[in-house]
């Protein structure tokens, strides 16, 4: 049997992650749906799930390190984004049909050496690298796509400091930072969400 092209495998994985995320949210909101599964979801991985309704962000949750199987990670993050995002109102069942889901699969993180803000920013490529910033026991992360919200790298870093609870004047050299890349899939790239609800995409 010929090998499945990498791009086809990639899209298949994305469809599975999106389907499992939507099913997990549906179950958490009382819908009787099955969680789609596949051997590809048995490997460890770190995901981040972002939810939007009518184009507005409704929740985001995820982790940086691959500590559990993808099937468990994406389901848990989807439910956390829907119901427990600290800056958002919990999603209601009536919003499920208008919900759009985006799943990002993170690469291994790479911790960076730097002495100041400029040295840190010099190691980042906008729209290619996401950044994690750690200040003491708190941390925060911006995805590669979040660069679009900031007109220059300095504002990107300042906003991430604020999100991590770090004072703007605190030099980056006193913090820890790591960069990463992502593969991202959104439901707009695939079939409409209703076709996933309660269905195994392998069928």
Domain residue ranges in the chain: 6-107+183-195, 110-180
Q: Which of 53, 109, 58 is nearest to 82 (CA)?
A: 58
The stretch 47-64 carries a mean pLDDT of: 91
CB 110 within 8 A of CB 117: no
Report the C-alpha gap between 203 and 191 in whole angstroms: 14
Please determine, for residue 183, whether its predicted confidence score (pLDDT) is greater than 50.
Answer: yes
**pLDDT at residue 169 is higher than 60:** yes
**Predicted structure pTM score:** 0.74
Q: What digits encode the pLDDT tens for the residues 70-87?
A: 999 999 999 999 999 887
**Do the domains at 6-107+183-195 and 110-180 have one common CATH topology?**
no
pLDDT above 80 (res 115): yes
Helix (H) or strand (E) holding 81: helix 70-83
The architecture (CATH level 2) of 6-107+183-195 comes to 2-Layer Sandwich (3.30)
DSSP-based three-state secondary structure for 77? helix
pLDDT tens-digit map of 1-20 = 334 445 667 889 999 999 99
The whole-number pLDDT of residue 193 equals 37
Phi first, then psi: what are they for 57, rounded to 5°?
-60, 130
CATH superfamily of 110-180: Hypothetical protein ph0010; domain 2 (3.30.1490.150)
Q: Quote the tokens at residue 177.
A: 């930072």
The reported pLDDT for the residue numbered 3 is 41
pLDDT confidence band for 165 (50 / 70 / 90): confident
Supply the pLDDT for residue 8.
67
What per-residue confidence (pLDDT) applies to 7? 63
């Amino acid at each position: 049997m010929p090998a499945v092209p990498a791009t086809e495998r990639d899209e298949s994985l994305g469809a599975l992650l999106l389907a499992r995320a939507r099913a997990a949210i549906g179950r958490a909101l009382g819908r009787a749906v099955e969680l789609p599964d596949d051997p590809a979801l048995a490997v460890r991985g770190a995901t981040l799930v972002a939810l939007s309704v009518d184009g507005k962000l409704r929740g985001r949750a995820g982790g940086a390190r691959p500590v559990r199987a993808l099937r468990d990670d994406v389901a848990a993050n989807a439910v956390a984004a829907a119901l427990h995002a600290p800056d958002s109102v919990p999603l209601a069942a009536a919003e499920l049909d208008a919900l759009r889901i985006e799943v990002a699969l993170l690469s291994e993180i790479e911790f960076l050496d730097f002495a100041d803000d400029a040295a840190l920013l010099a190691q980042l490529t906008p729209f290619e690298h996401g950044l994690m910033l750690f200040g003491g026991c708190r941390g925060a992360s911006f995805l590669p796509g979040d660069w679009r919200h900031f007109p220059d790298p300095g504002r990107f870093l300042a906003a991430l400091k604020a999100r991590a609870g770090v004072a703007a004047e605190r030099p980056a050299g006193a913090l820890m930072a790591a960069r990463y890349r992502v593969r991202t899939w959104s439901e707009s790239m695939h079939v409409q969400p209703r076709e996933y609800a309660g269905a195994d995409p392998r069928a």
